[in-house]
């Protein structure tokens, strides 16, 4: 094998993508996705979340939702289980009020936000105005009444299943996976939904994740027969009032990003005018390189997105990757952790850490299989914590990425101030890699292992699937 050192310098990576409307103040932040944790559970763990270095905690949907399988609290039950239930019922709205049987009441939500404020953590809330429950007869009378009757809740095309997700008319007006498509352009709906948003903010939330955002039309998209303007995003982002009601705080005080999964004909540039968005393709290529234990297996230098990288939410895995097709669920926790250290050490993006279920294994993805409980310990693993704090300490420093010739070990150097070393292989490695760190001896923050830099070459011994944080 060629023993020369490959240095992939990406110092001061120039963003050539489209700039988002979101404020730059949210750069260098990290998000903990407290997936399926109850509001009380999040509150009880807020100090740990803060100490671990997270800036935001993202909740699952807080709105009134469909009560499935008798209100059972299993993450994913199967016939014959003692406790029934499915995690995705909270993605089936029946009203736009805070509180549901899965995560807790409005009082619980507010107490969680109060706890977050006390510890200096901000709260993001998952929202999904695009659809209602599959059983749309379960929609509450208050929502039906607010829009002038049940029939006014949906697009004219709203009960027709999407057949071609690259057809923007179908994508933004049609039923997705059996979920009826809401007429988000109806001003009566916008007014009712915006009251919910403002109530969430008044309780203490600082931003939102918009689920299925690419299914809500943009001004340039085709109109549904019931609509005269595609102006949902104008209202939701506070650019115009609806029936005298506006977003209750300035838009630039909120962190808002959309689940705009990359595909053909998705209008990323236009969505970027309203919000940040997730880097779904980057997650895919990162997992590919991790699974092959080879940095060179995919193009990790490129963010694979048209939007500037400082306006992207990055991840190794999302809850959809883990839960739906189990695309990432077979990956070891340690391998996921190596990916987290990598993206968190980088200059751009806003990394999101998905909290896997407590007790989950690669043979049992659901672990203890209970909604409301805390996830496993990985979110505060010492390497994760060290990477989170490293990100803050390196704010403003340029990045340079290098890898060993065989791609097993990656270095993310941040100017002359610090570097992370990530062994994505299952082998012990005696490594040498190009670095921007000054000559000298360094000890990492977690294991106190010694590394040396001499004449621009960083050397040391690294354990399988371990990461190391070096600072001057």
**Per-residue confidence (pLDDT) for residue 264, from 0 to 100:** 82
The whole-number average pLDDT for the span 216-221 is 97
Query: Any idea where the domains of the chain sit in the sequence?
Result: 24-396
pTM for the complete prediction?
0.95
**Per-residue confidence (pLDDT) for residue 98, from 0 to 100:** 98
**Per-residue confidence (pLDDT) for residue 313, from 0 to 100:** 97
Superfamily in which the 24-396 domain is placed by CATH: Glycosidases (3.20.20.80)
Instruction: Judge whether residue 441 has pLDDT over 60.
Output: yes
Tell me, what DSSP letter sits at residue 37? B
Q: Please, what is the average pLDDT of the chain?
A: 94
**Per-residue confidence (pLDDT) for residue 19, from 0 to 100:** 60
Asked whether the CA dihedral 31, 37, 39, 45 is positive or negative, the reply is negative
**Per-residue confidence (pLDDT) for residue 28, from 0 to 100:** 84
DSSP 324-349: TS-TTTTS-HHHHHHHHHHHHHSSSS
Q: Which residues are catalytic?
A: 211, 259
Confidence of residue 21 (pLDDT cuts 50, 70, 90): low
CA angle 240, 244, 248 (to 5 degrees): 65
pLDDT tens sequence across 261-285: 998 889 999 999 999 999 999 999 9
**Per-residue confidence (pLDDT) for residue 265, from 0 to 100:** 83
- Strands of the sheet containing 440-443, edge to edge, are 429-434, 457-462, 450-454, 440-443
**Per-residue confidence (pLDDT) for residue 3, from 0 to 100:** 31
In percent, the amount of the chain with pLDDT more than 70 equals 95
Instruction: Judge whether residue 449 has pLDDT over 80.
Output: yes
**Per-residue confidence (pLDDT) for residue 18, from 0 to 100:** 65
Instruction: Judge whether residue 420 has pLDDT over 60.
Output: yes
pLDDT tens sequence across 176-202: 999 999 999 999 999 999 999 999 999
Report long-range pairs for 404-408 (Cβ below 8 Å, ≥24 apart): 404/5, 404/6, 404/429, 404/431, 404/432, 404/433, 405/1, 405/2, 405/3, 405/4, 405/5, 405/6, 406/1, 406/294, 407/289, 407/293, 407/294, 407/295, 407/296, 407/297, 408/293, 408/294, 408/295
The three-state secondary structure class of 74 is coil
**Per-residue confidence (pLDDT) for residue 4, from 0 to 100:** 33
Containing H/E element for 257?
A: strand 255-258
CA proximity to 309, closest of 285, 342, 276: 276
Instruction: Judge whether residue 6 has pLDDT over 60.
Output: no
Burial of 26 (0-12, 13-18, 19+ CB in 10 A): buried
More confident residue, 111 or 265: 111
Q: How far is Cα 98 from Cα 113, in angstroms, rounded to an integer? A: 13
Instruction: Judge whether residue 27 has pLDDT over 80.
Output: no
**Per-residue confidence (pLDDT) for residue 25, from 0 to 100:** 55
DSSP 9-35: --TT----SBPPSS-GGGTT--EEE-T
**Per-residue confidence (pLDDT) for residue 11, from 0 to 100:** 31
**Per-residue confidence (pLDDT) for residue 24, from 0 to 100:** 53
């Amino acid at each position: 094998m060629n023993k020369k050192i490959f240095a992939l310098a990406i110092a001061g990576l120039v963003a050539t993508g489209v700039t988002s409307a979101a404020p730059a103040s949210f750069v260098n932040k990290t998000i903990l996705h407290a997936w399926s944790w109850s509001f009380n559970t999040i509150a009880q763990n807020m100090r740990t979340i803060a100490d671990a270095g997270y800036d935001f905690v993202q909740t699952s949907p807080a709105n009134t939702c469909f009560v499935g399988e008798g209100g059972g609290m299993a993450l994913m039950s199967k016939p014959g289980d003692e406790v029934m239930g499915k995690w995705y019922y909270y993605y089936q709205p029946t009203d736009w009020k805070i509180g549901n049987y899965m995560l807790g009441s409005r009082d619980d939500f507010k107490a969680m936000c109060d706890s977050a404020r006390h510890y200096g953590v901000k709260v993001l809330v998952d929202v999904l105005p695009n659809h209602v429950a599959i059983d749309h007869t379960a929609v509450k009378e208050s929502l039906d009444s607010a829009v002038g009757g049940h029939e006014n809740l949906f697009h004219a095309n709203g009960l027709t299943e999407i057949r071609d997700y690259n057809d923007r008319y179908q994508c933004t007006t049609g039923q997705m996976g059996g979920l009826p498509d809401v007429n988000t352009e109806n001003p009566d709906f916008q007014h009712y939904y915006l009251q919910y948003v403002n109530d969430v903010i008044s309780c203490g939330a600082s931003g939102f994740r918009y689920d299925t955002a690419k299914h809500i039309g943009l001004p340039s998209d085709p109109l549904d027969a019931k609509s005269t303007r595609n102006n949902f995003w104008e209202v939701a982002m506070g650019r115009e009032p609806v029936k005298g009601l506006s977003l209750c705080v300035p838009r630039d005080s909120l962190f808002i990003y959309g689940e705009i999964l990359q595909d053909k004909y998705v209008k990323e540039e236009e969505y970027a005018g309203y919000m940040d968005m997730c880097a779904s393709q980057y997650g895919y290529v990162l997992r590919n390189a991790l699974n092959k234990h080879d940095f060179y297996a995919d193009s990790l230098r490129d963010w694979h997105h048209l939007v500037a990288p400082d306006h992207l939410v990055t991840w190794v895995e999302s809850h959809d990757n883990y839960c739906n097709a189990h695309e990432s669920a077979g990956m070891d926790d340690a391998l996921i952790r190596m990916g987290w250290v990598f993206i968190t050490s980088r200059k751009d993006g806003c990394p999101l850490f998905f909290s896997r279920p407590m007790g989950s294994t690669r043979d049992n993805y659901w672990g203890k299989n209970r909604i409301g409980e805390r996830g496993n310990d990985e979110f505060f693993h010492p390497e994760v914590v060290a990477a989170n704090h490293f990100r803050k300490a390196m704010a403003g420093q340029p990045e340079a990425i290098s890898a060993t010739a065989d791609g097993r070990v990656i270095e993310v150097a941040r100017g002359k101030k610090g570097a992370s070393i990530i062994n994505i292989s299952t082998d012990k490695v005696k490594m040498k890699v190009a670095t921007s760190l000054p000559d000298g001896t360094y000890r990492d923050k977690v294991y106190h292992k010694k590394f040396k830099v001499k004449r621009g070459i960083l050397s040391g011994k690294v354990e399988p699937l371990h990461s190391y944080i070096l600072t001057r």
